[in-house]
Chains A and B, each alone.
Chain A
Amino acid sequence: MFTEENLKKIEELKKKYPTTQALVLPVLWMAQEQFGHISNDTMKYVAQLLNVPYGHILGVVTFYTMYHSKPIGKHHIEVCTNVSCMLRGSAKIVEHLEHRLGVEIGQTSPDMKWTLSEVECMGSCGTAPMFAIGEEYYENLSTEKVDKILSELT
């Protein structure tokens, strides 16, 4: 169930779009923020709330890479390995992260602390290599800098 605040936000959102189906993306964002991930039950709940078929919601969740249908680690490290980052040493950053966290790309640590993902260009090419944790961008990375960032995360 959404919090009162989120339900109020949804009512506000309805004024901004001519159909409720247009609320699918913003409401899924809300769901992910509140519940951490978007489970099947959440999808059904959102479907009911917006009066769109569950299959539609499932289709949207599985299309967009930023929606997670399974729980992920507390810190989700998303490393860019696209060309601009690759040219400036992203492979070394990936290798270092895998070594330090004991997980490979695409995996979550058993204690659910870390999820490590490879992502496509994040628009940080001028400050490559980079990774993002949540909304925070960490740029111009070196292995020393990575160590420092990781040590500060609890």
Chain B
Amino acid sequence: MNEVMETYILPDIKDLHKLDVYEANGGYKALRKALGMKPEEVTDEVKKSNLRGRGGACFPTGLKWTFMPKQTTKPKYLCVNGDESEPGTFKDRQIFELNPHLLLEGTVIACYAMGITTAYLYIRGEYGKWIRMMEKALADAYAKGYVGEKILGSEFTTNVVIHKGAGAYICGEESSLMNSIEGERGYPRVKPPFPAQNGLWGCPTTINNVETISNVPLIINNGWERYSKIGAPKHPGPILVGVSGHVNKPGVYEMPTGVPLLEIIHKYAQGIPGNKAIKAVIPGGSSTMILRGDQLEGAKMDADSMKAAGSSVGTAGMIVMDEDTDLIKVITRISKFYYHESCGQCTPCREGTGWLWKVLKRFENNDARREDIDLLMDVANNIEGNTICALGDAAAWPVQSMIRRFRDEFEKRVKVAEPRMLADASA
């Protein structure tokens, strides 16, 4: 990478969170442009741009939008997912704080494209401070006519409602998020029916991540062709990569997709303290498969490359671990998390996550039996694919990948039976 990457989502502009500063820097230009286009043209633009969801699944956003029925008597809804609770992920928070109007502009454009008149912006409850920042931005946007009745003098009306979560990782799962908005416990729903047919209150609904929606104004402003040339061709655009753990400069960095993981660690996050070796990296939030240090060569932050490397982009929240890290402690903590966050609906996940954690604690305490390694694998395999939502898979993958890639770490913690004395020679 020779040129300095232009930043779109988090540009270095002072006070960009303020509406007048945002406007002075080309803010809400994309909305004006979009309102001059036909809604289908906006969707088409997003589709051709190849934007893929930034919430973890990398699903093509434009395609998702086309799932919304055009002819319907029911109201349609958009949910913008800002539940951001995947361990290692802290990117949406930067958007709320530094560029809230970009998110709102993208939200209104998405509503226009799909003929939606109400959007719910779901933000995790712990982000109380950031919710207030978004509320301020939203109030300003309403006052200036960017949201609400007859937006910018057009015939288009849409409202945005901020909905505060109350502390549940599972509410980041799209159907659980909808239940949470409806005032229910955050239980995931069985799919099908899919949200585009049967979402909020049984009406057509689209759910997009905060960062995904924030990409929409860029596509409209620059055109799909220019946008699709940023980063990796099959998974283009700017991406917010969060780097945490054992690095000199942790933080969220905006970059084009497709940047090598080693470059992210060494150039953006400025390497490992004490120049230690990298033992492992969790590349995209705690549910993505862990990579050994020697698997990083050639791995890049885009969907295809990460798949080839044996993991996935996820939320692009990288957790870097140096050579001295106790990986058994890491995986035990991760499993405890999924046990705590399992909603309890499906038996394999409710019971299995607890067993994973309990068995892993045996390894943590150097009290494991040799067969516990296979037992862990067996439990994980019986959770994976057998639950309503992906939390079960998310609990299984880290354990499976940790055993496959660091089996020796587990073997080291097996309790060696003390040699039994057959006869006391001194007697």
Contact = CB atoms under 8 A, between A and B. Distances in A.
Contact of A126 (B161, B250, B286, B325): B250
B168 A63 contact: yes
A69 interface: no
A142 interface: no
Contact of B166 (A17, A66, A84, A132): A66
B84 interface: yes
B275 to A, nearest CB: 17
Nearest to B187: A63
A99 B337 CA distance: 25
Interface stretch (B123-131, B226-234, B362-370): B123-131
B258 interface: no
A84 B87 contact: yes
A29 B166 contact: yes
Contact of A125 (B90, B118, B165, B321): B90
A66 B167 contact: yes
Contact of B244 (A81, A120, A128): A128
A80 B325 CA distance: 19
Interface stretch (A20-28, A106-114, A145-153): A20-28
A124 interface: yes
A25 B87 contact: no
SS class of chain B's interface: helix, strand, loop or mixed? mixed
A64 B168 contact: yes
Contacts of B90: 123-126
A2 B370 CA distance: 59
A41 interface: no
Contact of B250 (A67, A127, A136): A127
A63 B252 contact: no
A83 B334 contact: yes
Contacts of B29: none
A23 B245 CA distance: 39
Contacts of B306: none
B41 to A, nearest CB: 30
B410 to A, nearest CB: 18
Contacts of A11: none
B125 A66 contact: yes
Given A84-B244, A126-B252, A135-B129, A25 B163 contact: yes
Contacts of B118: 16
Contacts of A17: 161, 181
Interface in B311-355: 317, 319, 321, 325, 329-330, 333-334, 337, 340-341, 343
B250 A60 contact: no
A21 B159 contact: no
Nearest to A22: B183
A65 B333 CA distance: 18
A52 to B, nearest CB: 7
Contact of B93 (A59, A119, A123, A132): A123
A60 B159 contact: no
Given A23-B183, A66-B126, A127-B250, A120 B88 contact: no
Given A83-B245, A83-B333, A120-B340, A64 B186 contact: yes
17 contacts: A18-B75, A19-B183, A21-B182, A21-B184, A26-B164, A52-B183, A63-B186, A81-B333, A82-B87, A83-B245, A83-B330, A84-B88, A87-B321, A120-B169, A122-B126, A125-B242, A127-B250
Interface of B: 75, 84-90, 92-93, 118, 124-129, 159, 161, 163-169, 180-186, 201, 242-246, 250-252, 282, 286, 317, 319, 321, 325, 329-330, 333-334, 337, 340-341, 343
Given A83-B286, A120-B87, 19 more contacts: A16-B159, A18-B75, A19-B201, A22-B181, A25-B166, A60-B185, A63-B168, A66-B165, A82-B286, A83-B87, A83-B319, A86-B330, A87-B245, A88-B244, A121-B337, A123-B126, A125-B90, A125-B245, A126-B244
10 A-B pairs closest in CB distance:
A24-B183, A66-B167, A64-B166, A125-B244, A135-B128, A65-B167, A84-B244, A121-B87, A63-B185, A21-B183
